[in-house]
Amino acid sequence: MRKKPKITVIGSLNMDLTATSAKRPAAGETILGERFDTFPGGKGANQAVAAARLGADVSMIGMVGQDAFGDELVRVLEQEGVRTDHIGRVDTSTGVAVIQVVGGDNSITVIPGANFQLTPASIKEKKDVIEASDIILIQLEIPIETVAAVAAYCQEVNVPYILNPAPAQALPTAIIQQASYITPNESEAAVLFEDTNEALREFADKLVITKGEEGIIYSGGTIAAFPAQAVDTTGAGDTFNAALAVRLASCSQLADACRYANAAAALQIGSPGAQAGMPTHQDVTTFMRQNGENPL
């Protein structure tokens, strides 16, 4: 039997507070919304759930508060089969994301809370977990100095890491150079690079730019997105990154991994909430065959 890819996700855990409405309120305006939901989220936790559903052996490194949201986020990860023994608890509120969903698209305000207590010192205690991984997934909802510490250690022990540079911000050159793969969307790429075409040449076989319904671009060209009816795009990028990690850790070529990741993201946006619609490996392979793609 084929070994499960071993993936460690280092990043945020948030409770998503989601309001759905027909329009966004203007400054000073009050409107009536259509519904309110709470969903487990955070880019780190989302990616951990997505990778676990796609068949990986997943460990999560992160921080939550000593509160009900923290309890619930850890419980959900455990229920999904994610290893949670490397999630710390601190005397700060658990991270929260306030999400406004309008017409299937979203705007998000993140309050980091406990996520910003995941420090470089915390990472020093987890080096054995990193070293035992096939691939690391990391995002930017934790302190940049922590991301830098992970990047340096991954390079030291020759463990590949995927940098999902979200939310958008400028980064030290070393973090970008040390990444095995970088996966910005268009707006994030514009923050990171003065010229994305030049960046695609400089970081060939490393830089993957996601463009929503237009698919992705990388040094090998463009890979089209799969047809999908968007209900809620929250978590689409997280699903893409997790799926990419799963396939790359399983030794797929980058183009094949991107096609698989596109399919996983297309399935995910058909349900409300970041984690609710995340597909299984079987879901993805069936969907790819239905759309004329070979899932190998």
pLDDT at 2: 58
Structural contact between residues 296 and 263, judged by C-beta atoms closer than 8 angstroms: no
* Catalytic-residue membership of 283: no
Strand partners, 6: 57
* pLDDT attached to residue 1: 38
222 lies in some domain = yes
- pLDDT, tens digit, 9 for 90 and up, residues 10-38: 999 999 898 999 999 999 999 999 999 89
Total domains present in the chain: 1
Domain CATH number, residue 84: 3.40.1190.20
Taking residues 138-158, what's their average pLDDT?
96
- Facing residues of 83 across strands? 59
Mean pLDDT of 277-289: 93
- Contacts for 28 with CB less than 8 Å, ≥ 6 apart: none
pLDDT over 70, % of the chain: 99
In the chain, the N- to C-terminal Cα span, in Å, equals: 16
296 in a domain, yes or no?
no
User: What are 60-102's pLDDT values in tens digits?
Assistant: 999 999 999 999 999 999 999 999 999 999 999 999 989 898 9
* Active-site residue (options: 57, 134, 232, 238): 238
184-232 pLDDT, tens digit per residue, is: 999 999 999 999 999 999 999 899 999 988 899 998 899 998 888 777 7
Q: Is residue 224 part of a domain?
A: yes
pLDDT, tens digit (0-9, with 9 covering 90-100), for 175-195:
999 999 999 999 999 999 999
1 in a structural domain: no
What per-residue confidence (pLDDT) applies to 97?
Answer: 86
- Within a domain: 295: no
